[in-house]
Chain A
Amino acid sequence: MGTFVLRSASMVFALILASTSLVYAQDQSCLTITSLDGSTPAVNYESNQLKVQVQGRFKQEGATGEYTVSAGNGAVVLSRDLAAGSTYSVSPAGNSVKVCVQQAPQPAGATPPGPGVTPLTATPPSSSSSAAASAAGGATSTETASKEAGTAKPKSCIDDKINCDLGATIESLTAPESPAFTVLGVAPSEVTRPTSPADFSTFLVSAFDEQGHFQSGLALDAAPFLLLGSKQSWFSHYGDTGPSNRKYWWVRPLARTTISFGTTKGASDSDPALRVAMGVRIVLYDERDPRLLYARCIRLVVVPDVNATPEEMIKRLREERERCKQDGIKKAQEIWNATSLAIAGAPTWFSKDGSSSSLQLNGGGYWASGAVRIGTTAQILAHFRRRTGEEVPDPNNPTDPTTGQPNFVIQSSTFAGGSLRYGSAVFNGRFDGLYVHKKVAGVLDTYPEFGFGLERKLAENLYLDASYRYAPGTKLTSSGFLSNLKWNFNKVPKLSPTGK
């Protein structure tokens, strides 16, 4: 057994050596992108183009000259074309990702790059290439390209007004769960979620260093009123209805108020600058709130026999508790078009020297998201988002020509969007509208976007859909309308709001 293991290991080692020598025998170039804000760089491959996307500040090393730097989706995108027969590998590690490319040799008179890209190893990435190749997993692994690796994140109409996904853009305006992390542009891997006042105190103590300055890399997400109000009588009114609810209407919004807090450090290891964000999210109403659905169910439970023994009553209560749990889960799943209203806000502060005493207000983000249910078949959605002091890649000069480092400019923006969605067994449809008002480096840009999609089930596994999107600059005449009208036959519904 021991000999077998040793031999197997030797063979694997020999194979690795062989493949390594093969890799380096060709012209391989590597690029390493390290996020300085704790976000995870994402890599995807589409249409012979390899892209590395990173949110916020980052450090780049290696073959930077081989990539074109641009702004996209509120992030910096480094992209390069890959010739047919080229291979690439992706090695994520923490907040960095290393991408190595072996360009296939191009003989004189070769045809332009074709669609084929040979993987480095035999393991193809999953269809969600961005997630599969992101550094989020933490463990170092080698991912490879394949023709299927072309499922890039849909383009936002906020960054690209012409070629974009309007529906996805409107949905991206939803009030975020943790607004502080959103305005900082980070997705922290470790978030403190206190479950008791003691946990909260521990976090506060650990938030500062010996000089009283905020530590960097802090991330807190908490529901303070649920945490601190365990002895408050008003909490038992969470599921109230009728006259009692008119008196205690504020209980549910208060219980569902969450705060988020985060800090990030400067652009480089030697930069002491600190960014701090404090976010609040309040759910004013949520028809799919599982606790509300449960409370409304359990409140209807009546003592059936006032002379029953306590043991009998407890047994019945246990059964009713389970029934109401299952009912709540079922109802929450069934209501695809729930009525809801949530607001969120997160101001940010910036300290050049990293000290808490020199923190200055530096913009922020504010959201409002609402939905109204119309029967069982339709829903109206409305979103509003305002961001100020946001650092975005310079659309005109994405990189500094002398240093090669990315250029950032300040953006203030206001977006308002809405949708009307309809879904039934045979017909689905949606109408979307978006208004963009943004000022990038002092230059104002405002434009509307709107579109619609209609889908009809023709037979089992056969759907016909038609969609139109007005892009700024196109004509609103019949010829302009027809040129932007697209239609398709599909085996599965593409516009169903339930995804079924």
Chain B
Amino acid sequence: MPFPTLSNMQLSSTAGLPDILLSIRGSLIDPTTYTLAVSDGQVPAGGEKTAHYIRLFDSPNFDARRQVSGPTVATVGDLAGRVLKWMVGLTSLTKDDAAYEMIVQCGQGTLDTQADESGNLDHGVEFAHGYIRVTVG
């Protein structure tokens, strides 16, 4: 199980809210809706897994850019010191060990790759998730 991943993202305070894009590669993979959440406050380094998260949005559209925003995130400054958590379920109707690749990109303008992992489903399912620590400068 390759996930979870942890990556860092530096945002510019003058460039606006970032976008996020999730891609799945796999011929026999059927992904579920992906979900983006954000920690409800600043999280000290290493505390990502124990932080409490608030849902920002769910989206059925993979390979589509979507702006990271929500009730607690209105400006880029709201993301300073917080952690983004992305989640997606991967399933296969027919193959229990189907191979897949997950690519997660996030950023302002040009999207930097934050996660790029591959693996195989375990008994037909996998729960892919990861954390993106944000600093705003």
Which residues of A approach B to under 8 Å, CB–CB? 226, 229-233, 235-244, 255, 290-291, 294-295, 298-303, 306-307, 310, 313-314, 317-318, 320-321, 325, 328
- Within the complex, the shortest CB–CB distance from A260 to chain B, in Å, comes to 21
In the bound complex, do residue A231 and residue B125 qualify as a contact, i.e. CB atoms below 8 Å apart? Answer: no
| Alpha-carbon distance between A295 and B54 when the two chains are bound, in angstroms | 27
Bound Cα distance from A469 to B137, whole angstroms: 82
The answer to whether B89 touches A317, judged by C-beta atoms less than 8 angstroms apart, is yes
Q: Which residue of B lies closest to A322 (CB)?
A: B124
CA distance A310 to B62 in the complex (A): 21
CA distance A320 to B92 in the complex (A): 12
With A310-B127, A317-B89, A318-B123 known to touch, is A299 a contact of B32 (CB < 8 Å)?
Answer: yes
What is the minimal beta-carbon distance from B121 to any residue of chain A, in angstroms? 10
A239 and B30 alpha carbons, distance in the complex (Å): 7
Q: Evaluate whether A321 and B125 lie within 8 angstroms (CB atoms) in the complex, with A298-B32, A299-B30, A299-B31 already known.
A: yes
Chain A to chain B contacts (Cβ below 8 Å), 19 pairs = A231-B25, A235-B28, A236-B23, A236-B31, A237-B63, A290-B93, A291-B93, A294-B93, A300-B33, A300-B60, A301-B32, A301-B33, A306-B85, A310-B3, A314-B122, A314-B125, A314-B126, A320-B91, A321-B91
| B125 and A318 contacting across the interface, CB-CB below 8 Å | yes
Which one of A242, A243, A313, A328 has the greatest number of beta carbons of chain B within 10 Å?
A313
* Closest chain A CB from B111 CB (angstroms): 15
**B30 to chain A: which residues have CB within 8 Å?**
236, 238-239, 291, 294-295, 298-299
Task: Give chain B's interface residues, CB within 8 Å of chain A.
Answer: 3-4, 23-33, 35, 37, 52-55, 58, 60-64, 85, 87, 89, 91, 93-94, 99, 101, 122-127, 129
Residues of the A chain whose Cβ atoms lie less than 8 Å from the Cβ of B37 = 306
B98 closest partner in A (C-beta): A230
CA distance A126 to B58 in the complex (A): 57
* A231→B89 contact, CB < 8 A: no
Q: A302-B58, A321-B91 are in contact. List 5 more A-B contacts (CB 8 A).
A: A229-B27, A300-B33, A302-B33, A306-B37, A317-B125
A83, B62: Cα distance in complex, Å:
72
Does A236 lie within 8 Å of B127, measured CB to CB?
no
Q: In whole angstroms, what is the CA distance A294 to B93 when docked?
A: 7
Chain A residues contacting B4 (CB-CB under 8 Å) are: 310
Assess whether B27 is in contact with A226, with CB atoms less than 8 Å apart.
yes
CB distance from B51 to the nearest CB of A (A): 9
Return the contact of A303 from the options B23, B35, B125 (Cβ within 8 A): B35
With both chains docked as a complex, state the minimum distance between the C-beta of B104 and any C-beta of chain A, in angstroms: 13
| Chain A residue nearest to B62 in the complex (CB) | A236
Interface centre among B30, B85, B125, B126 (most CB of A within 10 A): B30
Cβ-closest chain A residue relative to B58 = A302
Quote the shortest CB–CB distance from A404 to chain B (angstroms). Answer: 52
B64, A244: Cβ atoms under 8 Å? yes
Nearest to A245 among chain B residues (CB) is B61
In the bound assembly, the distance between CA atoms of A250 and B93 in angstroms comes to: 20
In the bound assembly, the distance between CA atoms of A325 and B101 in angstroms comes to 23
Which of chain A's residues have a CB closer than 8 A to the CB of B23? Answer: 233, 236
Output the least CB separation between A83 and chain B (Å).
Answer: 56
Q: Say yes or no: B60 contacts A299, CB within 8 Å.
A: yes
Which residues in B have their C-beta under 8 angstroms from that of A244?
A: 60-64
Contact status B93-A303, CB under 8 Å:
no
Q: What separation, in Å, do the CA atoms of A295 and B126 have in the docked complex?
A: 15
Q: Which residues of B contact A226 (CB under 8 A)?
A: 27
The 8 Å CB contact of B91, one of A231, A298, A303, A306, is A298
- The residue on A at minimum CB distance from B53 is A306
